[in-house]
Amino acid sequence: MPTTLPERNAEGRPAVTLTEEQKYLFDTRGWLLVPGVLTEEEIAEMRAFCYRLRREPETIAPCERASIGGPLLRLVDHPVILGFMNEFVAYPNLATADGYGFRLEGSFLAHRAAGDDNFRPHGGGGLFNFPVNSHVYCCNPGVVHSGLTRAVWELNPVQRGTGGTLFLTGSHKAAFRPPQSIQDPDSPLWDTYDCPAGSLLFFTEGITHSGAKWTNAATDRVAVFNCYNTIGSKWHQWEPHPELLAAMHPLRRSLFRQVCCQDNAVNAGEPRG
């Protein structure tokens, strides 16, 4: 069986390898912020597309009316995404130079103005979830597998305490249920972040997390939430538009291949008997 993780994305850009500190932080906290990933030009183009998607969808071709449409498609296998997924999500035996070892199984755009409230704590205990649940977190010394994993692209600045995603840090490994006190969004148990536009937030769906009330009257929250999973698992009932899928580079298209394990490595030779 092949064990080659792609080192370049569909645009030929090399994967950005995580530092030892980043790997440690994600494993111990269950979430990781990578600030300032996108350029100013990329941010402006992608944010403008998001506003069109919300306010003037009729100006966009039907197959592109999605949070992976237009310039947002470049985010699905961005070099930082590829480096992270190769480390924490990909299954090497189902990866080749022509196909990623992980899937993108869900995507949505979050556009929130001041006053929009999305506080709804959920998740946690991923170390103890049963495997087909997908919200699973597995680890051995030096090796981690994060099942359902979220990548959030913040296309506007986020100020701490004004509505960024909330986390109960470490709860992906928690053996106890979260205390009732977390039903208060101001509980000191909640962690959050601030970041410039163009930052990338990763978190395992096995962590207790929540949206929050957006209170920044000067700036909307504009964020693309992409969800990744292993080749043989699926949680969301979501698929890209067939025309959008057909037009993708073959390597990028491998993110949306069928959900199974047997012989599901792209261009890996003859199937096994």
pTM: 0.96
- pLDDT score of 271 more than 60: no
User: Residue 263: pLDDT above 80?
Assistant: yes
pLDDT digit string (tens) for 58-95?
A: 999 999 999 999 999 999 999 999 999 999 999 999 99
Per-residue pLDDT band for 268 (boundaries 50, 70, 90) equals confident
- Taking the alpha carbons at both ends of the chain, their separation in whole angstroms is 13
Q: What is the pLDDT of residues 184-233, one digit of tens each?
A: 999 999 999 999 999 999 999 999 999 999 999 999 999 999 999 999 99
pLDDT digits (tens, 9 = 90+) for 145-187: 999 999 999 999 999 999 999 999 999 999 999 999 999 999 9
Rounded to whole angstroms, how far apart are CA atoms 143 and 164?
29
Q: What's the chain's average pLDDT?
A: 95
Rg (CA), the chain: 18
Distance CA 213, CA 165 (A): 9
| Separation between Cα atoms, residue 207 and residue 4, nearest integer Å | 29
At 97-137, the pLDDT tens digits run: 999 999 999 999 999 999 999 999 999 999 999 878 899 99
